[in-house]
A and B are shown apart, each in its own frame.
Chain A
Amino acid sequence: MKLELRGITKRFGSLVANDHIDMVVQPGEIRALLGENGAGKTTLMNVLYGLMQPDEGEILINDQPAHIKSPKDAISAGIGMVHQHFMLVPVFTVAENVTLGEEPISRLALPELNFGRLHVPRVSLPAAATDWLGLFDRRRARAAVRELSERFGLRVDPDAYVEDLPVGVQQRVEIIKALLRDASILVLDEPTAVLTPGETEDLFVIMRQLRDSGHSIIFISHKLKEVQAIADDITIIRRGKVVAERPPTTSDAELAALMVGRSVQLRVSKDAASPAGVVLDVRDLSVPGEHGDLAVQSISFDVRGGEILGIAGVQGNGQTELCEALMGLRPATGSVLLDGQEISAATTKDRLRAGIGYVPEDRQEDGLVGAFPVSDNLVLDVYDRPPYAAGIVMKPDEVRKAAARLVDEYDVRTSSVLTAAGTLSGGNQQKVVVARELSRPNKLLLASQPTRGLDVGSIEFVHSEIVKQRDRGIAVIIVSSELDEIYALSDRIAVMYEGKIVGMCSPDIPEQELGLLMAGATTANGQGNGSGPHRPGTDGPQPAVEMPADQAEPQAEELGSE
């Protein structure tokens, strides 16, 4: 099926989210839609899926104008969408979720009964009533799921409950859902944002398979490498306009420049570290997890001033618990020394006061108060100290003054310091957190997933700020599940797997080997525990992260184009 968007324009007040966007997707093509957060990708797809009506322009399917007024129209036109946040009922099985809304129904009937002389014939509801009152035909639902999953290699158990499935498999369920409704154009909105590298690779295999069977796929992303790896053609949009179409062989520097509108430094340039004395010394730290097990098992490491320790690992291997334990947000055993002072019994407040800057993993939940203005968020953990307060009386003028300075210094794009932080874009929200945490005199900076969900321009900024902190002699810990980020920043890399540090390596370790360590494999030189059993419910850790060879080795890139 051929899809054509012609002159799509969507305005919100004075803002033009989509400005005369033209795009053609051929049958059997993976078309990447590349753009920064807020470039208008999602708006465009919402128009295509009937969630919004365009102010101008039209959608053509097989060269015929299509009138898509609602998602229902879109589905019947053969457009399927996999949202970034899954639309699944957690307590339903895969088969139930997939068929939800189009359940296979069998007629409600009382069976034939025979009690000796009393004979009750089979009574069934009239066919016309079956639409209103019928039985859910589990067998047919299961069969439909099985048939689709075999045809496209989407391995999934139709009887598994969705809440028990890992994210990657839930995504497959979403795809099956769309395919069951005969979608021939699939829209995947940032599908890799929630996936581990291994799951991403699985998704790519599925996408290729779907393409080969004649489906068209629109792949929305802001990650250059993924787009290069999977797309047949790339449409780049910036500020609501299509700025270019490029083949996937285009260099990432060029793509980044097109996306952001200026040349971008993809890998922060930094000098060799000059580590000083030990700032943070962690000994035998164990942290209980949610279910009574140990999420972090007796780990020890230290960080010196002026170096960046990268903690690599697939999400959910104890990194979150480690960070929260270091901040006193979670009970733990073992000893934590900051500058030689034992802080393992200190409160979060005391640890912040002692000089730890903390960029939490979930900025919207833990890092910010969305309903508060930017100014209050910028003093969220120093609000009760001079000059922002004297005794218990706060000084709003001082808060605003400091906020205006930080907004300026860290280039937070907001209409005013009184704007609610929740209305800012993800990148700007993160800048608020970073500005707050880095503007204090710190000894240690603990940043967890500091650039998750951010676009290239913001990543560049956050990375350079973190390196600046290091060069000031501050000890830095970066926790990240993005290999690129680990390589870009780390002076040393610790690999976490199942609550343990399974390897402490230098940043020139090959990506292949690091990927193996993250998956729990034993390395050639005997590091790692290797004994990790496969976690139930998952497909097991993926052995390696496949990336095109030319991106496998870390190299400082500083390129400009346009």
Chain B
Amino acid sequence: MSDVPVDPMPAAPDPVPVTAAAEPGQPSETPGPAKSRARLTGAVIIQAITQGSSAVVTILAIFLALVVGGVLIVFSDPVVSRAWSSFFAVPGYTLGQTWHAVSFAYSQMFEGAILNPSTVSAAFHGGSIAAIFYPLSSTCAQATPLILTGLSVAIAFRAGLFNIGAAGQWVGGAAVATWLGFGVSLPPVIHVIVCVIGAFVGGAVIGWFVGLLKARTGAHEVIVTIMLNYVMYDLLQYLLSHPAMLQEPHQTNEIAPFPASDANLAHVGGPPPQVGVGFLIAVAAAIAVAWLLSRTTTGFQFRTVGASPSAARTAGINVERSWILVMLLAGGLAGLSAATVIQGTNTQLTFNSYGTYGPDGITVALLGRAKPIGVVLAGLLFGALHVGGTYVEAATLGQVPADIVEVLEGLIVLFVAAPALIRAVFRLRTTAGTGMEAVAKGWNG
């Protein structure tokens, strides 16, 4: 390395100058003093776009995914597909049909997930004002567990650990919350709080165990968490198949009783599927994680361990203890995610309640670049896609399946994980680093 740009790896075919001055995209945890605000001029914005800073790449990745998704919508619509077969005869008709199908699907998705203009006009004519917020409220409700498992993956990631085990930790939290919910009777408000704390502890124990194994034996957390997921899935089945444990009495199905009504989280927007207190828990957790990472010595330890375990050790940081602690917190956050589902949507715990919250947490954390604010935004985006997908399926009478959003989610993450592809498609100039490399290389941890 040097003051003057000298290619550090002479074999690289397209060397990138590395200079202290030319690092606009360098993320720094501590924002600069007031002068950095003054620098946010048009030139800086243009530079950010042309150089493809991480945020720009993310936005373009979402855009590109929507374009590819549009192609899929065209294929799934028989009218448009037929129109394409006679493209050379009636090109205008074909393109018109295509535009209509794609714009209809996406506008329906928007109306279902964010705002439906007809509810606004209806409100002026004596309709319900609450109806205007119904889509947004559903989006937030869908986003809630995703934000929490996303935070679980993200906080572990900042300490250099790849938490594939949010699903197993979710199960741990869900089991404890359910048991406390129906098996214990407590005064109203206290019951909710105890259940939420119980869910956190249930997840945290599973996470702590992963951290302990890594710290004591050096077992790789990716393998441990994947295997522990299966253990937890099967443990859940076991618990749900014994009335003495979690199974609802007089049931042959693997299903737990409803939590007591005083153990449920209060509604904010309205009854499910609208948003409840769980969303506030998710946002509060995001703020707490952001504060922990950027403002506390514990967070500094996590980040140092994540960026360079050997430097952390040399600086006297107890790397093993950081691993254990961060996995404990990660597990707890996944447990909170379970609490918002079990207590927030009045659900009976079943053998497959864990759904895809764990894997979705990984994608949300990747898309949010392992930063709390990013995780919240990514969680909201995925929540909106889920809600919008269901809505568009209903609106098109099943012609555009809700599964399309799964494709969109996958594509977004794929494009975000391949910033070079996005830069090539949109002809952005390359920069030395966008911070994405850290996420892409996470498996080496």
Partner-B contacts on A (CB < 8 A): 12-13, 15, 17, 37-43, 45-46, 49, 51-52, 70, 81, 83-85, 87, 189, 239-240, 327, 329, 347-353, 358, 360, 365-373, 375-376, 380-381, 383-384, 389, 392-394, 396, 399-400, 413-416, 418-420, 422-426, 428-429
Contact = CB atoms under 8 A, between A and B. Distances in A.
Contacts of A12: 4-5, 17, 19, 22
The 6 closest A-B pairs by CB, nearest first: A38-B2, A349-B316, A12-B17, A38-B3, A381-B315, A12-B5
A394 B304 contact: no
B1 A429 contact: yes
Given A52-B7, A380-B311, A389 B17 contact: no
Interface in B280-332: 295-300, 303-304, 307-308, 310-318
Contact of B297 (A46, A349, A394, A423): A394
B232 to A, nearest CB: 31
B28 interface: yes
A12 B300 CA distance: 34
Nearest to B17: A12
Nearest to B300: A383
Contact of B1 (A15, A384, A389, A423): A423
B165 to A, nearest CB: 26
A372 B10 contact: no
Contacts of A376: 29-30, 300
Contacts of A371: 307-308, 438
A372 B19 contact: no
A194 B265 CA distance: 64
Given A37-B2, A348-B316, A368-B311, A51 B13 contact: yes
B311 A46 contact: no
Interface string B354-395: 000000000000000000000000000000000000000000
Contacts of B318: 347, 349
Contacts of B317: 349
A399 B28 CA distance: 14
A367 B295 contact: no
Interface string B1-38: 11111110111110101111111001011101000000
A329 B11 CA distance: 35
Contacts of A394: 295-297, 299-300
Contacts of A43: 4-7
Contacts of B3: 37-38, 413, 425, 428
Contacts of A368: 308, 311
A424 B297 contact: no
Given A39-B4, A51-B13, A423-B18, A366 B314 contact: yes
Nearest to A389: B297
Contacts of B313: 329, 348, 366
11 contacts: A38-B6, A70-B13, A360-B314, A368-B311, A369-B307, A372-B307, A381-B314, A381-B315, A399-B30, A425-B3, A428-B3
A366 B308 CA distance: 8
Contacts of A418: 28, 30, 32
A91 B71 CA distance: 47
A85 to B, nearest CB: 8
Contacts of B311: 365-369, 380
Contacts of A424: 1, 20
Contacts, number: 167
A445 to B, nearest CB: 15
B314 A415 contact: no
Contacts of B23: 419-420, 423
A56 B295 CA distance: 49
A350 B315 CA distance: 11
Which of B9, B22, B308 has the most chain A CB within a 10 Å cutoff? B308
A184 to B, nearest CB: 20
Which of A46, A351, A383, A423 has the most chain B CB within a 10 Å cutoff? A423
B112 to A, nearest CB: 41
Contacts of A17: 4-6, 17
B10 A415 contact: no
Given A15-B19, A370-B307, 4 more contacts: A13-B19, A87-B11, A239-B4, A360-B314
A447 to B, nearest CB: 13
A443 to B, nearest CB: 16
A406 to B, nearest CB: 16
A392 B298 contact: yes
Contact of A15 (B4, B295, B310): B4
A389 B301 CA distance: 13
Contacts of A383: 297, 300
A418 B316 CA distance: 23
B96 to A, nearest CB: 48
A416 B307 CA distance: 21
A380 B26 CA distance: 19
B302 to A, nearest CB: 12
B291 to A, nearest CB: 9
A381 B1 contact: no
Given A38-B3, A38-B6, A418-B30, A365 B308 contact: yes
Contact of B10 (A38, A49, A400): A49
Contacts of A240: 4
A429 B3 CA distance: 11
B129 to A, nearest CB: 42
Contacts of B5: 12, 15, 17, 43
Contacts of A38: 2-4, 6
B115 to A, nearest CB: 39
A202 to B, nearest CB: 24
A348 B314 contact: yes
Contacts of A49: 10
A54 B17 CA distance: 14
Nearest to A328: B316
B438 A83 contact: no
B314 A367 contact: yes
A420 B300 CA distance: 15
Contacts of B307: 369-372
B29 to A, nearest CB: 7
Contacts of A425: 1-3
A12 to B, nearest CB: 4
Contacts of A37: 1-3
A392 B21 contact: no
Contacts of B296: 392-394
A329 B314 CA distance: 7
Contacts of A46: 6-7, 10, 15
A52 B15 contact: yes
B134 to A, nearest CB: 41
Nearest to B16: A12
Contacts of B298: 392
A189 B11 CA distance: 13
Contact of A396 (B6, B7, B17, B30): B30
Contacts of B29: 373, 376
Contact of B21 (A70, A85, A400, A415): A415
Nearest to B438: A371
Nearest to A371: B307
Contact of B316 (A85, A352, A415): A352
B34 to A, nearest CB: 13
A349 B310 CA distance: 14
A69 B24 CA distance: 30
A424 B21 CA distance: 10
Contact of A381 (B9, B19, B308, B316): B316
Which of A49, A347, A371 has the most chain B CB within a 10 Å cutoff? A371
Contacts of B2: 37-38, 42, 425-426
A40 B2 CA distance: 9
B11 A13 contact: no
B6 A369 contact: no
A508 to B, nearest CB: 35
B1 A426 contact: yes
A371 B18 CA distance: 13
